[in-house]
Structure 1
Amino acid sequence: MSLSSAAVAQAAALSLPGLLPPPALAHRSVVIVAAGGRDLVWPQERIASALLQRSGGRPVHLLLHGGARGADRAIGRAAHQLGWRVQELAADWRRHGRAAGPIRNRLLLEQALVEAQTHTSPAFSASVLVIAFPGGAGTASLVQQARRCSSRAPVPVVVMEVPPPFSPEPLAA
């Protein structure tokens, strides 16, 4: 399934309240680390729209993801169809066991920081944008690590969460 240029343009034109880029991201290019749950089943257009909205029209040098089934793979496909460079860093479960997820998350952030630094000069700066789609413990671990490293990172690191879809509770009869 491919995204039509009209769908991409429409998604880019959407303006959602509260999604203006934080001051740390104003006038910068970005390296994105994106993740979400293995059970996330959203249409590709919705994922692309969320990526576009949160990137705020800034140039995207690279989108990194963990390659897990569900959100990660869908994020990679959407980013590829948006014309962004995409890199997958899968967890090495055989080698690291239960620690593989947090280790992979640390490597994603380290790679993003290196990539952002290579695109930073006195005249132009890049930042790291972590986009967290609805997910479980792995996504929460990535968000926690990103927030923890942001104070000591050589470039700005900003976390933006994508809320789950609104589903009202059924009314009691």
Structure 2
Amino acid sequence: MADREKAMTETLTTYARLNVPASTIEEVVKTLTDELEQLKEMRDEAKRWMEETEAAEQRANDLAALAELARTRLAAADAPHRVPVTVTCRVLGLARQPYYRWLASPVTDAELTEAYRAGALFDAHRDDPEFGHRFLLDEARAAGEAMAERTAWRICRDNRWWSVAMCRFGVSGWVSVTACQVDALSLVGC
């Protein structure tokens, strides 16, 4: 905090030496303070998104474990307490044919491919959270997961992997923070 105040004092001293009007200095200070608060909010939001992503991964693992339980313990031929397939399907609200198709291949090729793609995009997002979906796509392609730009956008949207260099702008949506704004905020000591 002391470094930030020192940088602010030096900036104000420099403006005073250049004969910049006090009202202009106050406006600059107010603008930088507001942008600093926005940056703090964006960092907090990015942290919440990372926590939500981890929670979603845990839920996916729990659902996979539940599906494995249903497959191995409820209606499987070697289950210790075998429940008839018709009863299991009736309780789960499924027809028997999709159940047997799922039993033969619980994870489809499309789901597996999308999981690998999402993993590559998430790894790139974790390494560089300021990247948008286009840069994440380039990183995923470099890691060997080829996909269309629209597919990368959809996966990022569904998992809420947004760039941390974005700020909320009223009800109109998200607006990118330019590099010079990020530099200005770093001068303040963010």
Do both share a fold (TM > 0.5)?
no
User: TM-score scaled to structure 1, two decimals?
Assistant: 0.25
User: TM-score scaled to structure 2, two decimals?
Assistant: 0.23
More strand by share: 1
Q: Which has the larger radius of gyration?
A: 2
